[in-house]
Structure formats: structure tokens, C-alpha cells
Amino acid sequence: MSVFYLSKAFAMASKPCLDGFYYLRSNVHGLVEQTVWAYYIIIREIECTFRQLKTDQNLRPIYHQTDSNTEAHLFLGLLSYWIVNTIRHKLKAHGDNRYWTVIHRVMSTQKTGTSTAVNALGEEVKMRICIRPTLAAAEIYKRLGYRPTPFWKIEICTSQMHKQQNPQNYTSDS
């Protein structure tokens, strides 16, 4: 006797549950069943992605006072969807068919931290550190063709920033 099981999270992440009976109706004549089903899946993925993006970016409810604010709202929503769709398209090319909610959860495990201190010269120094990604996040980076760690450590000294922003205020001997 043998027992085989999958965790619920793994089963949901690896294959969406499409069990059951579906009745799909279309007003477009001449489509075969596979095409109607493919359109249904595409629409379902788009709706799921927009629902997640609206939650992540606090894009609802919409209380805009001007047309330009409404246009900006729609532009950011469509831009976000375009980025998500590009990421998912690249991952699907490598056989990774996870939904955006799962990708977002896996990638949100990588964090950055910023520390601020004052050095001996009285200058404020900020240090940003990016932690190493989990194995699952590193695999997504690999499939997308990105480095697993966008940066390792960045140090910023405020006096150096002022010199770069206002070079005319500093002489060559400073």
C-alpha cells in the first residue's frame, strides 16, 4: 500500500482547479469548443489579475474629482497589468503557469532594509541592503533573466549627494 499527497498550496499553485462542468455561451458563430474555452481562460486570468492589482495598489474605490485623475488611475492600472502580463508571459514560456497572486506572494519574501547613522564627520550615511531571495524567488528571477539580487549593499552619504546635486557650491579643494 502507498499513500500519495500534495499540499493544498502546492496543488493550487501548480494547476488551477478546473474540475466540474461549464456551460459557456458565445454570440460569435463558428468557434470550436477549444477556442471558446481558451477565451474563457484568458478572460478569467485578466479578471483575476486586475482584482489582485486593485487590491495591491489600493485602486478601489475610485473617488476622483477630475478627468485627469481618472485618466491617471486608468493609465496606472493598465500599465500595471501590462507589466504583470509580460512577467507571466515570460514565465509561461518556461512552463511556469502560476497566477499573479502566487508569484506576488513568492516574490514578496525578498526584502530590503535601510539603516541610517552619523559618521565621525557628522555626515548622515544611509546603507541599503537587499537580502538573498528564497529558492522559489531565485527560480523566478532565473526564468525572467534577472539577477537574483538587484543590489547587495548601497551606501549613500548626504554630503556626497549635496556635492553631486550642487557642484557649483563646492570648490576642488573641498
For residue range 25-80, list pLDDT tens digits in order: 778 888 888 888 888 888 888 888 878 777 776 666 667 778 887 788 778 888 88
CA 28 to chain centroid: 35
**Residue 158 and residue 162: Cα distance in Å, rounded?**
6
Residues 6+ apart with CB under 8 A from 134: 106, 109, 110
pLDDT at 172: 44
pLDDT in tens, 121-139: 888 888 888 889 999 999 9
Cell of 56: 495591491
pLDDT at 169: 46
pTM to 2 decimal places: 0.60
For residues 45 and 85, is the Cβ–Cβ distance under 8 A? no
Tell me phi and psi for residue 63, to 5 degrees.
-125, 70
